[in-house]
Structure 1
């Protein structure tokens, strides 16, 4: 009998679902590992104090805000290519969550506000033109998202994150 005559068994849906689940689990494990490695320099435990005026003119006290419910802190930049895919998601979730974002090395407040207007973003933005805030927090990569709950850092992620990922981190805080 030759190889041409041997029929290969067809894979059923169960086999495909099992393979898909394994790939999804591997992707989550890899993402979690990369987050742990990248977050080594990022502040942990008690969140650094952050009191400032946003580019929108609002007074922000992060620790006080986090006493009511968790706050998603989003470090980003106008020049960051990955941020261009994450920022729309942050804008989307900002309707139902407290969000404070920090624009790193993105120019003057006027320039940042023009960028926000052009993209139609509504989330609160603190401008960090000389990366003073980001150094205090140990941020070396954009985008970085941090959840602060009752003054404590409860979750950190870097790179691309979906709205579901943001929601899950806030919920699990």
Structure 2
């Protein structure tokens, strides 16, 4: 194969991969937009509660100094099983508050957390009241709260880089 033909083949493949990548990004953003329609926007609802770790959490107050990543998840959620390790990873460098939706009592969630070796802050929404107040209809859902305002919402799979970028851009 000549060098010129090899270069054309390489450029053709690069163009194809780029087009597929852009298509996947567009579909992902469109799906996020569609799924986020029921989720609250603008001012974040008040959320003051005790975590399963025994720590008082006041989300609006926390968000005044630095943005807070809020992660709505469930122990039974298959997508969450791939997102939660990333949330745990970024929780060492960012403010993270998570809400376990309809996942049982505190003891059950603590056992789940221990079995996975997760260390992020968890609010237990055993009855689904918090999830309904925030308009959550899909797990996993991640939001960034900055100075009491919701600045970013995403649903489904998100990478640590995606979480970091959303926090940085808020």
Where on the TM-score scale, by shorter chain, does this alignment land: which range? over 0.9
Q: Which of the residues 63, 77, 82 maps onto 1:85?
A: 82
Whose radius of gyration is greater, 1 or 2? 1
Q: How far apart in 1 are the matches of 2:15 and 2:163? A: 26
**Count of aligned positions:** 165
**Equivalences for residues 73-152 of structure 1 within 5 A:** 73-152=70-149
Q: How far apart in 2 are the matches of 1:17 and 1:171? A: 29
- Summarize deviations over 1:112-166 as a string: whole Å, max 9, x none: 0110011000000000000000000000110000110010000000011111111
**Aligned match of 1:42:** 39
Q: TM-score, normalised by structure 2?
A: 0.94
Gaps of 5+ in 2: none
Q: How far apart in 1 are the matches of 2:20 and 2:93? A: 31
Q: TM-score, normalised by structure 1?
A: 0.93
Q: Which of the residues 59, 82, 97 maps onto 2:56?
A: 59
Deviation at 1:12, TM superposition (A): 2.5
Gaps of 5+ in 1: 1-8
Q: How far apart in 2 are the matches of 1:159 and 1:104? A: 15
- Summarize deviations over 1:96-124 as a string: whole Å, max 9, x none: 11100000000000100110011000000
User: Would you identify which runs of 4 or more consecutive aligned residues in structure 1 move more than 3 Å?
Assistant: none
